[in-house]
Chain A
Amino acid sequence: MLLLICLLPTGAAVAASQIDTFAFADEMQERRYRALIEEFRCPKCLNTNLAGSDAPIAQDLRKVVYRLVVTEGKRDQEVRDYLQARYGDFVLYDPPFNAQTWYIWLVPIGLGLLAVIVLLRLLRGARGEATALDAQQQARLQEIVGETRSSEASLSQSADRT
């Protein structure tokens, strides 16, 4: 339900985020502000960033980002630290590597390695099987190849006659 409520206004929210009437000293400052509100996740909605959310908390946090960037002249990293200290790793779309998140980072690498190992083994296995016929199988193989050749030969002869 919460998800639904969050999802509904997203179409309008892109426009709504433009309604915030903030004044910036220069274009550079405005660009930094816009990049930062794109970067953080709204704590209330499950997967919307601050720029795209209409939730009251997102509006408040946009004001906070504005205050930090414009009024207090903080650097981008200081803004990130400020929000992370209060709302945790959740607001960062780029989770840090720590005791809680290591497996998120390592699982794809592990799966990739596993895929390479499986692929190598399959390739080696395929090559190995091709040469691993015993004497009896070799004889049988020759027999089949021989049969096919002679039947092909007789077929082409009959084709010549017509």
Chain B
Amino acid sequence: MSRASLYIPLGVFMLILGLGYVGFDLGARNELPSALIDKPFPEFQARLLNEPERTLSRENLLGRPTLVNVWATWCPTCLSEHEQLMQIAASTDVVIVGVNYKDRPDKAKQWLAQYGNPYDWVLDDRDGLLGIEMGVYGAPETFLLNAQGDVVYKRVGDINPRIWRDELAPRFRQLGIAMTVDNTDTGAD
């Protein structure tokens, strides 16, 4: 047995340590990778919050890139990302669909009146069934769909200036969504 092979156990030990370090340090461990990435957005039927007699389905989201934002009035992070959504609504021509998740319609309407409404449509998902179809497990969650209705990106957590600059804006550009100039620099930290 050569002297060098005495170091094999140490090497294996270091390898295990390394695997452990990488495995336990992989950042957002509480973020599930979405099962929907690169897959079609699920079929659904949901009432509009403001016109309960009208329902929307997947077909209404086709043809243009769409941002689907899951929110609720009971979710403080939704309030903190609201400003960023308002900015996206004002400075791009993306369609923004809100999914009002496990919430009370009266509270939701009051919230939108108070803080402003960035959404083109708001879906009423008070029982959370649409959320389950989308694999939602909390709020806020945001999905970016291309014109064919496939999910190209999902964010679990708030849309903040950094996420907008690093994750969303480049994909908006890729999808050919019109944006006013300078917009990608807003709130750069």
Q: Which A residues contact B (CB, under 8 angstroms)?
A: 2, 43-44, 46, 56-57, 60-61, 64, 84-90, 107, 111, 114, 118, 121-122, 125
In whole Å, how far is B42's beta carbon from the nearest beta carbon of chain A? 8
Task: Give chain B's interface secondary structure class.
Answer: loop
Contact assessment for B138 and A57 in the assembled complex, using a CB-CB cutoff below 8 Å: yes
Tell me which of A43, A89, A107 has the highest count of chain B C-beta atoms within 10 A of its own C-beta.
A43
Task: Give chain A's interface secondary structure class.
Answer: helix
Contact assessment for B1 and A86 in the assembled complex, using a CB-CB cutoff below 8 Å: no
Q: Does B3 contact A (CB under 8 A)?
A: no
In whole Å, how far is A82's beta carbon from the nearest beta carbon of chain B? 10
In whole Å, how far is A134's beta carbon from the nearest beta carbon of chain B? 18
In whole Å, how far is B41's beta carbon from the nearest beta carbon of chain A? 12
A53 to B32 alpha-carbon distance, docked (Å):
17
Complex partner residue of A56 from B9, B30, B32, B102, CB under 8 angstroms:
B102
Q: Which residues of A contact B5 (CB under 8 A)?
A: 121
- A56-B102, A118-B8, A121-B1 known; A88 and B30 CB under 8 Å? no
Chain B interface size, under 10 / 10 to 19 / 20 to 34 / 35 or more: 20 to 34
In whole Å, how far is A47's beta carbon from the nearest beta carbon of chain B? 11
A44 to B157 alpha-carbon distance, docked (Å):
13
- A57-B137, A57-B138 known; A90 and B33 CB under 8 Å? yes
Contact assessment for B35 and A87 in the assembled complex, using a CB-CB cutoff below 8 Å: yes
In whole Å, how far is B155's beta carbon from the nearest beta carbon of chain A? 16
Contact assessment for A86 and B132 in the assembled complex, using a CB-CB cutoff below 8 Å: yes
